Amino acid sequence: MEGKLNWRDLFQGKLSNNGFGTDEVHAIYRLEMDARAFFDFGDIMPEWMQLQDIERDGKEMRFAWVSRSSTAKYPSCNRESTSNRGDHDFKTVQDIPRDGMAVYHDVAVNKFNCDNSDCSTKIFAERVPTLVGKKSRKTYRFISYCIARGAASGCNRAQADIRIEGGVVSNDSIGRYIKAESAEIVKSSIESNSVRVLSV
């Protein structure tokens, strides 16, 4: 990003300039990151995801995260693995915009070996189920935000408003989110045998 600001450099530089030693700077910075993670993202990020840094320019904010977990469950077989491979899988996920800027989470999750001999997949990357779906590039809450805006004012208007707020999304994507959500509601109603009236 051109002209970006880096929170780590800024924060640690201020501490160093005010007489704090290297160990103190690192300790205080770690506390700062943990507090920010809890207050700003405690509802979508599990405790084992650790906030590392924040970068911003005039158009976007980026939050860098790394997993510190020692175990993970592979969703296909639901077997828990403690066999951390020591490398990461990287994913960028868009969140609700703030302060007129797009917000992204650059997430580094651990890779594990699946310990289930009956499982066809031997290597898997842990997931962050409170943050994002398996193949999605938008957080659950950003998708819900788009659905609410689209349902209230229409997809075209929602796209325009969200882009003014800094978000990056198309009216087609908003329409797909609404259709998918509607389909889940209909499916759930039919399965619960609570449908009384159908209309087109």
Burial of 155 (0-12, 13-18, 19+ CB in 10 A): buried
pTM (predicted TM-score):
0.86
The stretch 151-179 carries a mean pLDDT of 96
Task: Please give the distance of CA 14 from its chain centroid, rounded to a whole number.
Answer: 29
Q: What is the DSSP letter of 76?
A: T
Directed axis angle between helix 22-41 and helix 7-17, to 10°? 140
Rounded Cα–Cα distance for residues 74 and 177 (Å): 26
pLDDT in tens, 12-55: 999 999 999 999 999 999 999 999 999 999 999 999 999 999 99
Rounded Cα–Cα distance for residues 1 and 62 (Å): 10
Q: Which amino acid type is present at position 163? A: R
Cβ-contact 50, 66 below 8 angstroms: yes
DSSP character string of 135-174: S-SB-HHHHHHHHHHHHHH-HHHHHHHHHHTT----HHHH
| Torsion sign across C-alpha atoms 136, 137, 138, 143 | negative
User: Does the structure show a pLDDT above 50 at 141?
Assistant: yes
DSSP character string of 177-193: HHHHHHHHHHHHHHHTT
pLDDT in tens, 90-139: 999 999 999 999 999 999 999 998 877 777 778 888 999 899 988 899 99
Directed axis angle between helix 171-191 and helix 155-164, to 10°? 120
Residue 76 confidence (pLDDT): 75
Task: Please state the domain extents for the chain.
Answer: 1-128, 138-192
Q: For the chain, report the end-to-end CA distance as a whole number of angstroms.
A: 48
Q: For the chain, what is the mean pLDDT?
A: 90
Cβ-contact 77, 118 below 8 angstroms: yes
The stretch 1-16 carries a mean pLDDT of 87
User: In which band, very low, low, confident or very high, does the pLDDT at 81 lie, cut at 50, 70 and 90?
Assistant: confident
Residue 50 confidence (pLDDT): 97
Task: Please enumerate in sequence order all residues whose Cβ is within 8 A of that of 59, keeping only pairs 6 or more positions apart, or say none.
Answer: 1, 101, 102, 166
The token pair that represents 162 in the structure block: 């969200």
User: Does the structure show a pLDDT above 60 at 1?
Assistant: no
